[in-house]
Amino acid sequence: MNSENAKPAVLVTGVSSGIGLAIAEDLLKHGYQVFGSVRLIEDAEQLVGRWGRSFVPLVFDVTNDVTLQEAVIQLSSALQGRVLKALVNNAGVSFAGPLIHQPWDEIRQTFEVNVFGLLAVTRTFLPMLQAEAGQPAGRIVNISSVSGTITVPFMATYAGSKHAVEAFTQGLRRELMPLGVHVAAIEPGFIRSRLFEKAAATKPLDRYTDTRFAAAWRAFNLSLRELESQAKPAGIVSRAVLHAVGAKKPRTRYPLDSLWYIGRYLPDRGFDRLIFKALGIERFMCFRLL
End-to-end CA distance of the chain: 67
| Residues forming the active site | 158
Nearest partner of 196 among 155, 243, 167, judged by Cα:
155
Strand partners, 40: none
Q: What CATH superfamily classification does 4-288 receive?
A: NAD(P)-binding Rossmann-like Domain (3.40.50.720)
pLDDT > 90? residue 195: no
According to the model, what pLDDT value does residue 289 have? 42
According to the model, what pLDDT value does residue 214 have? 93
According to the model, what pLDDT value does residue 199 have? 52
Span 29-40, average pLDDT: 97
pLDDT > 90? residue 204: no
pLDDT > 80? residue 161: yes
According to the model, what pLDDT value does residue 290 have? 41
Burial class (CB in 10 A: 0-12, 13-18, 19+), 223: middle
According to the model, what pLDDT value does residue 192 have? 74
Residues ≥6 apart with Cβ < 8 Å to 233 = 22, 191, 192
Predicted structure pTM score: 0.93
Cβ–Cβ < 8 Å for 27, 239: no
Cβ–Cβ < 8 Å for 117, 240: no
Task: Tell me the per-residue pLDDT of 61-93, one tens digit each, with 9 for 90 and over.
Answer: 999 999 999 999 999 999 998 999 999 999 999
According to the model, what pLDDT value does residue 197 have? 57
According to the model, what pLDDT value does residue 96 have? 93
Give dist(CA 193, CA 231) in Å, integer.
Answer: 9
Span 222-231, average pLDDT: 81
- Number of residues that make up the chain: 290
Span 265-284, average pLDDT: 90
